[in-house]
Chains A and B, each alone.
Chain A
Amino acid sequence: MDIIDKLIAKARPQAERGVAGIWLDEKSLVEAARQVRAKGFTKFEAISPYPMHDIDEAMGIPRSFIPWVTFVFGLLGFSFGVWLTWWTSAVDWPLIIGGKPMWSVPAFIPIIFECTILFGALSSVGALIIKCGLPQVDPPVIDPDLSSHKFGLFIPQSDSGFDTTKVEQMLRDLGAADVKQTEF
C-alpha cells in the first residue's frame, strides 16, 4: 500500500509552523483567545471538538456570509424553475393538456419551489466546502484529543509580532495545560 501513502503525501496541504497551546475546558480557551487577540495577534486559530459559545466575539470572527450565497442561488433556482417550465411547456413544444393554458403557472409552482430549495441547499454546502478549503487530505493534527475533549490555540509564525519563546511564555501564562512547537 505504498502507492496510497505516496498519493497522500503528494496531496497533503502546505502546513505552517507555529506554537500551539492546549486547554482542558472551553471557557479558559475562549478567555485565552480573547487575551491573544488583545495582544495584537490576528492569524491565530482556535480548535475545538464542537462549536464554542462566544468564540466568534472573542476572536473577532464576523457573521458568516453564506446566507447570501443561499439567497442568490435560491433566486437562481427559482428563475431556473420558471424558465424550465415556461420554455418546455409554452415555447419548445406547446401541448394543450387538461384544457389549461400553455403557461399554467399554478401547476408549475411545485416544480419552481423544489428547484429553489435544491439550488439553495446545495449552494450553501458548496460554499461551506470551498470556504473551509475542504476536502483536505490528511491535514496536520496538533493533538488527536482536539476533536474529543481538549481545546487548542495555534499561533502561526507569520503572525505579527511572533517570537517563539515569548509566545510560548504567553500561552503558559494564559493557563495552557500544554504548549508545543508544531505545524498546522
Chain B
Amino acid sequence: MIRRAPLVLGNKTLANVTQDIAGLVESFPGPKYFLGLGAALFLLAIFGVAQGSIAAIGMGLMGVNHPVGWGTDIVTFVFWIGIGHAGTLISAVLFLFRQKWRTSIARTAEAMTVFAVMTAGVFPILHTGRPWVAYWLLPYPNQRGPLWVNFRSPLVWDVFAVSTYATVSAVFWYIGMVPDLATIRDRAQNKWRKRIYGALSLGWRGTARNWNHYEMVYMLLAGLSTPLVLSVHSIVSFDFAVANLPGWHTTIFPPYFVAGAIFSGFGMVVTLMCIVRELVPVFKDYITMNHMEAMNKIIMATGLMVGYAYGSEFFMAWYSGIEYEQFAFMNRAFGPMAWSYWIMITCNVIIPQAFWFKKARTSIPIMFVVSIFVNIGMWFERFVITVTSLHRDFLPANWGEFVFTWADFGALFGSFGLFFTLFLLYIRLLPAISIAEVKPVLPVGREGGQHGHH
C-alpha cells in the first residue's frame, strides 16, 4: 500500500498542538513581525489619503473619464472579491469533499476571505462618487415614494451577493474559532486575556451535546457557502456580461470568472502561507510542503482553465462573425493597450507552467515568486476585461485612452495595506490554525490514523 504523508509533522501530542497554536497568541512578536506590520500600516496610510481625497474632492482624481467610466475601483474590487473565493473553497468546498489536508490552512484561508471581502467592499462604495449615500443601494422604506432599488440591475444583485457573502463568511469563520477561543481562555493566566477571550468564546464548554450541534452547523454552513461562493463571482461577472458591450457580453463569463477567482485566490493563499511560515517557524509542522504542493497544483490547473477561457473568447469572437466582437478582441491583443493583455497572458498562462516540475512546486522561493506573478496577472485580467473593452467601442469618434493617476496607484497599492494590516493582526491575536480541527487528524491514539474526522 502506498503510504500517505502525515498531515501534521513532528509527532505532536494533543498538548503540543495547543501549545504551538495558542502559545503564539500568548507571546510577544519579534522585530520581523513589527517590520511587516509597519510596512502594512504605511500602505494603509496611503490608502486612507488616496480614498479620503477621492471621497472629499471627487472621482475626477482617478483615471476614469469618458469613454472609460469603470477603472481602478471596479478592477480592484473584482480582484479582491476573487481573492476571497479561494478561502471559501478551502474552508467549505474541500470540507464537503472530506479533504483532511485542508484543516491546517482552512482558518487562515477563511480569514483571508473575510479581509479580502472587507477590502473589496471599500471600492464600489467609493466608486459611487458619493459614498455617504451608499446606503441608497439597499431596499429600505424611504420618503421618496418609496422609490425602490432596481432589482433587475446586476449592480443590485452584486450588493446582495457581496453583502450575503461577507456576512456568511464572517459568521463561518467566527463559529469555527469559538472552541479555540475557549482553549485560549482556559489557558489564560492574565486576567484581561481571560476576560476578552472568555467573552469572544461565548462561554463555550465543549460538551458532547454541544459538539453534536456544532458539527452539524459547521457542515450546514459549508454546504450553504459552496453554492454561495459560486453565485458571488457569477453575479460579479454579470456586471459585465449583462451589458451589451463587445468583450463583456459573453456567456462563458460566470465559469471563467469563478475559475479565475480560485486561481487568484490560491495565488494569494500561497503568498500568505510563505509569509506565515517565515514569520512563525513552528507552523511549518502544520502547513507542510505537501500543503504547498497541493495548492500549487490547483494553481496550475486553474491557470490552464483561465488560459482555455482566453483562447475560447477569441474563438467565439471569430466564430460569431460579428465585426465589433472581432475588433474588440483584436484590439485587446494588438491595440494600444496590448501591453496589459500580454502581461496577463505571461503571468497567468505561461509562468504557472513552472509547476509542472516537482522542484518548482516544492521550492518556497519559486512558488512565492510565481504566486506574486499570479496576483499581478489576475489584476491585469480584470483590467483587460474592463478597460480595453470600454476604451474603443462601436464608434471611432467615441474612442479614448485610460491614464492612471496618483489616486489610482494610491487606491490600488494602499488596499494591500488594509488587507495586510488586518491579516498580520489576525495572525497574532486569534488562533491562526484550527486547534479543534487539527487534533482529530493527528495519528495519536488511533490505529494508523486512518479514521480522522471533523
Which A residues have a C-beta under 8 Å from some C-beta of B? 1, 4, 8, 13, 25-27, 33, 45-53, 55-56, 59, 61, 63-64, 66-67, 70, 84-85, 88-89, 92-93, 95, 97-98, 100, 104, 107-108, 110-111, 113-115, 117-118, 120-122, 124-125, 127-129, 131-132, 134-139, 141, 144-149
Q: Give B residues with C-beta under 8 Å from A.
A: 13-15, 18, 22, 139, 145-152, 156-157, 160-161, 164, 167-168, 171-172, 175, 179, 182-183, 185-187, 191, 195, 198-199, 202-217, 220-221, 224-225, 227-228, 231, 235, 238, 435-437, 439-440, 445-446, 451, 453-454
Indicate if the CB atoms of A56 and B151 lie closer than 8 Å: no
CB distance from B409 to the nearest CB of A (A): 33
**Knowing A66-B220, A114-B231 touch, does A122 contact B171 (C-beta < 8 A)?**
yes
Contact partners of B210 in chain A: CB under 8 A: 132
A145 to B17, CA, bound (A): 12
Closest to A30 in B: B208
Nearest A-chain residue to B437, judged by Cβ: A50
Which one, A98, A114, A137, contacts B161 given CB within 8 A? A114
Assuming A46-B207, A84-B151, A122-B171, what are 5 further A-B pairs, CB within 8 angstroms?
A: A50-B179, A113-B227, A117-B224, A121-B172, A128-B217
Cα distance, A50 to B18, chains bound together (Å) = 12
Q: Which of A27, A110, A118 contacts B235 (CB 8 A)?
A: A110
Question: Given A121-B224, A125-B171, A149-B14, A107 and B211 touching (CB < 8 A)?
Answer: no
B208 touches A46 (CB 8 A): yes
Whether A27 lies near B209 (C-beta < 8 A) is no
A64 to B217, CA, bound (A): 9
Chain A residues lying within 8 Å of B203, measured Cβ to Cβ, are 13, 134-139
Across-interface contacts of B179 in A (CB, < 8 A): 49-50, 147
**Given contacts A53-B451, A144-B187, A148-B14, is CB(A100)–CB(B152) below 8 Å?**
yes
Report Cα–Cα, A67/B218, bound state, in Å: 11
Which of B160, B195, B206 is close to A49, meaning CB atoms less than 8 Å apart? B206
With A50-B439, A107-B151: A131-B231 Cβ-Cβ less than 8 Å: no
Contact yes or no, B206 A117, CB < 8 A? no
Main secondary structure of the interface of B (DSSP, over half): helix
Q: Distance in Å from the Cβ of A57 to the closest Cβ of chain B?
A: 11
State how many angstroms separate the Cβ of B124 from the closest Cβ of chain A.
Answer: 16
Contacts A51-B454, A110-B231: A124 and B217 contacting too (C-beta < 8 A)?
Answer: yes
**Which of B157, B168, B204, B209 interacts with A118 by CB under 8 Å?**
B168
Q: What is the minimal beta-carbon distance from B145 to any residue of chain A, in angstroms?
A: 6
Shortest CB distance A129–B (Å): 7
Instruction: Take A45-B209, A52-B208, A104-B152 as given contacts and tell me if A148 and B231 are in contact as well, using a CB distance cutoff of 8 Å.
Output: no
Contact between A138 and B198 (Cβ–Cβ < 8 Å)? yes
Kindly list chain B residues whose C-beta atoms are within 8 Å of the C-beta of A56. Answer: 208, 212
A141 touching B208 by the CB < 8 A rule? no
List the 5 closest pairs (A to B, CB-CB), nearest first. A136-B203, A149-B14, A64-B216, A88-B148, A144-B186
Q: How far is the CB of B81 from chain A (nearest CB, A)?
A: 14
Which A residues touch B152, using CB under 8 A? Answer: 89, 97-98, 100, 104, 107-108
A50-B440, A64-B216, A110-B231 known; A88+B151 contact, CB < 8 A: yes
Taking the closest CB of chain A, its distance from the CB of B354, in whole angstroms, is 38
